Amino acid sequence: MPKMYDADDIVDLKNRKKRRKRRMRFLTILLIAGIGAGLYFTRDKWYNKIRGIGQQYRTIVNSGKLAEGNFPIEISSSGEYQLALTDRKMVVLSDAYTYFYDSDGALLKRRQNTYTNTVLRAAGGKALLYENGGNELSVENEDEVFYKKEFAENLILFARISEEGYTAVVTTSDSYNCELIVYDKRGKEIYKRKCIERVSDLSFINGSKGCVLSDISAENGQLVTKVKEIDFSKKGERWTSPGLNTLGLNVYGYGKGAFVLGTDACGYVDDNGQISSYYSYDGELEAGASEKGNSAVIVNNIDRRKYVIALFKGGNTEARVIELDKPSIDVTIYEDLAYVMCQGKVMAFDFNGGLRSIADVSDSYTEFLRSEDHIFLKGYNKIDRIDYES
């Protein structure tokens, strides 16, 4: 038989329900207040991580105002000077001197350059100077010359230096197409290789324990570029890629393979030595760059007035092509952004194609370098600097 309720029972039941609702409301308010207090007292740990959410694709417009003080740096040279940037230091090579500056333009050291037809490379806070077609090189910084090398019988074709201070030199050879010699940071020879094919470039990998090198050969009447991975502690190659249909200019190694920048095309080779992507230019190559697997190539087609930057987010993706308003001049990659200089402006793109930042600059500059909060602009006889936020 169902339970019967009188009027007093019904009133008491309703009151209990009201009290239960008030308790739930009070507990909810306490919970919200507790969460709010916790967020407030720990705001230093999480606020900066999310303050950009919802604004990460907002294009930053930089003023492009030129720095004063030590800038511009005036360069006296009878020919074109070279500029490199490493560890917040600028290295400038003129026809007669090598200059070391800090990022504020203060001169740290001037050293006379006795080489002819000298080429400058820089990494890991050190400068590598070598004679292109000569037989001497040196590794130095603003404080000292670490070591020099002289090749009595062979001529230097090119040389590279790693972030760890290792140096690789490719020279001519009497019996082979060329020779590769690798030195550690103290100048001790650790690897030597006689090459049958012409080596066009190399890139250190695995903390300078090895390298990838590109060589040029002919297949079916066409020049192709093959990539080899080498471990300095072993003989032979870990793998050799098939030929990419282009004349390779530069090779950039990274953890999952290598990127090849060629005269009329570019492409990726994976860590098994297989071609994973290939992109043919619709115009003339102006410049290219690659860092940690991300790559950017700028191509100008003057006849069609078509100017593009092609972005590659790793080796297994197709090119993301962005059209530019004006001819491009130079490109570099810094902290996962691709920076391109066009006539009158510098722009930064992420590798999804988003325009992250922009600055107006004079169209008299021919190159630029990116470092932390600055962009260094290379002119005919001077170096300028602008602040740049990305």
pLDDT at 335 over 80: yes
Neighbours of 72 (CB within 10 A): 16
Please write the tens of the pLDDT for every residue from 264-306. Answer: 999 999 999 999 999 999 999 999 999 999 999 999 999 999 9
Say what the pLDDT of residue 51 is. 41
Mean per-residue pLDDT of the chain: 90
pLDDT band of residue 32 (cuts 50, 70, 90) is confident
pLDDT in tens, 51-94: 444 445 689 999 999 999 999 999 987 778 999 999 999 999 99
Which residue has tokens 């907002």?
Answer: 58
Q: Which domains does the chain have, with CATH numbers?
A: 59-79+287-390 (2.120.10.30)
Name the DSSP letter for residue 350. -
* Inter-residue contact 106 to 73 (CB < 8 Å): no
DSSP letters for 222-284: EEEEEEEEEETTSSS-SEEPPPBSS-EEEEEEETTEEEEEESSEEEEEETTS-EEEEEE-SSE
What pLDDT sits at residue 55? 45
What value does the mean pLDDT take over residues 145-169?
96
Identity at 107, one-letter amino acid code: L
Q: 90 Cβ partners below 8 Å, 6+ apart? A: 83, 84, 99, 100, 101, 102, 103, 369, 376, 383
Question: pTM to 2 decimals?
Answer: 0.83
The predicted pLDDT at position 242 comes to 96
